Amino acid sequence: MNIIPNPWHALRRLTQARIALGRAGVSLPTSAQLAFQLAHAQARDAVHMELDPAALSGREFILAHSACLDRAGYLQRPDLGRILDEPSRALLANAAAPSCDLAIVIADGLSALAIAQNALPFLDALDAQLAQEHWTRAPLVVARQARVAIGDEIGALLNARAVVVLIGERPGLSSPDSMGLYMTWGPAPGLADAARNCISNVRPAGLGYAQAACRLHYLLGEARRRGLSGVQLKDETAAEASAAPRTSFLLAP
């Protein structure tokens, strides 16, 4: 059966979304169906993949663990992924300084693949931004079977004024390797999501490391200056970028 092309085919080069796939009769072409099945399998693999700390070699860190015993428990009990187990809590309390400006947590989240591929190059870009100012840092923490909110407890235990959590985001069908950044000023257990700022889709095919580090550096600086984060703190770097004139592809000749 012949494949009937879609007239929007030329727009496919502008997006990873599944558009203009064409059709064979009333069905998708075989190639498009197989590509969808592959993407679905990659997303499932990313969710179930365990984080290998060796993927973060080259950085010194404290290895912590949530209250989830294994990956299956992590997927079934989100609440336990938001808190540390007792040995990790004691380990971090012993490693804490009286106070520091910033704690950084690397958490596997729902895509350990995203962390393995993106965490270290992003940290290199962030270090270059933070070197412009004086930031006292807590020891780097790697948290396994962890959700975003575990950073609040870790930041509090390390007596940090701000915490940043690098975490693997829920995989999409075109992005099994997307990493999110969550920044909180004044971390403490029990904070709501409204207390955090999020920068998402950090990866080479999404938001680049340098741009993501620049945005996070801006948010950290404003959080320290104003003593707040979350819904009260806006990312003005995005507004500056959008000030440049744009043309719609729909109006292109």
Per-residue pLDDT tens digits for 86-128: 999 999 999 999 999 999 999 999 999 999 999 999 999 999 9
In the predicted model, is pLDDT for residue 205 greater than 80?
yes
In the predicted model, is pLDDT for residue 232 greater than 50?
yes
Domain-located, residue 158: yes
Across 35-39, 141-145, 186-190, 220-224, least confident range: 35-39
CA distance 23 to 30: 9
Domain-located, residue 27: no
Residue (of 165, 150, 232) closest to 200 by Cα position? 165
Domain-located, residue 83: yes
Domain-located, residue 24: no
Residue (of 235, 210, 238) closest to 221 by Cα position? 235
Domain-located, residue 2: no
CATH number of the domain enclosing 64 = 3.40.50.11240
Domain-located, residue 178: yes
In the predicted model, is pLDDT for residue 249 greater than 50?
no
Residue 248: pLDDT band (50, 70, 90) is: low
Q: What is the mean pLDDT of residues 212-224?
A: 97
Both structure tokens of 135: 């930031």
Domain-located, residue 8: no
Structural domain of residue 148, as residue ranges?
53-234
Q: Number of structural domains, the chain? A: 1
CA atoms lying within 13 Å on the CB side of residue 112: 19
Domain-located, residue 250: no
